[in-house]
Amino acid sequence: MEPLNNPYSEQGCFFCGQNNPIGLRLRFFEASTEPPELVCRWTPGEHHRGLGRVLHGGLQCGLFDEIMGWTTHHFTGQSAVTGEITVRFYEPVYIGSPLELRCRLTGREGSRVHLAAEIRDHRGRKCSTAQGYYVLVPAERFARIVGKDDRTVGKDRDGA
């Protein structure tokens, strides 16, 4: 499988930026499943730990946010921002062991794109899941929200 093209490669994202020297450098692939899903395989290192040998829960939440954003963009072709994510933890995810993230669209209501995602360990055990939605926004507004133009950083929804 070939990784998906990163439309934001120049942005230095902590999760998917390939040029971020301290980033995770995640790559995403479209799985040949029904319904269609995005997949990411990654092995957390020592510096990703929470307590003991467990992957920090905050990083798991970030992983869900990242794959949900990629899934929304890939399957809708539109820019979107996080609306809500709810995460459930079932089993610990251990550093040093490969894990697999999967995400799929579960529905759409107007500008809201609903998603479901999961993290499985190297044995295939479901360790955590996430449900949530992303809000589709026009490309110009997305650029303002994420601060692609430094003059817009910190502006509120109305541009003030």
Q: Which residues of 85-115 are buried (b: 16+ CB within 10 A; e: fewer)?
A: bebeeeebbbbeeebebbbbbeeeeeeebbb
The predicted model gives 134-143 an average pLDDT of 92
pLDDT beyond 90 at 129: yes
Domain borders along the chain are 9-151
The pTM is what? 0.88
The lowest-confidence range among 3-12, 21-30, 92-101, 137-146 is: 3-12
Residue 64, SS3? helix
9-151: in CATH 3.30.1440.10:
no
The lowest-confidence range among 6-15, 20-29, 67-76 is: 6-15
Top-confidence residue, 118 or 159: 118
Q: Which residue has the tokens 């910190």?
A: 154
| H or E element in which residue 134 lies | strand 126-136
| Arithmetic mean of pLDDT over the chain | 89
Query: pLDDT tens for residues 39-62?
Result: 999 999 999 999 999 999 999 999
Q: Please name which of 123, 107, 126, 127 lies closest in space to residue 115, comparing C-alpha atoms.
A: 107
Residue 19, SS3? coil
The alpha carbon of residue 128 and the mean position of all alpha carbons in its chain are separated, in whole angstroms, by 14
**pLDDT for the residue numbered 150:** 45
Q: Quick check: 27 and 93 in contact, CB under 8 A?
A: no
The predicted model gives 129-138 an average pLDDT of 97
The predicted model gives 58-80 an average pLDDT of 96
Tokens of 29: 């692939």
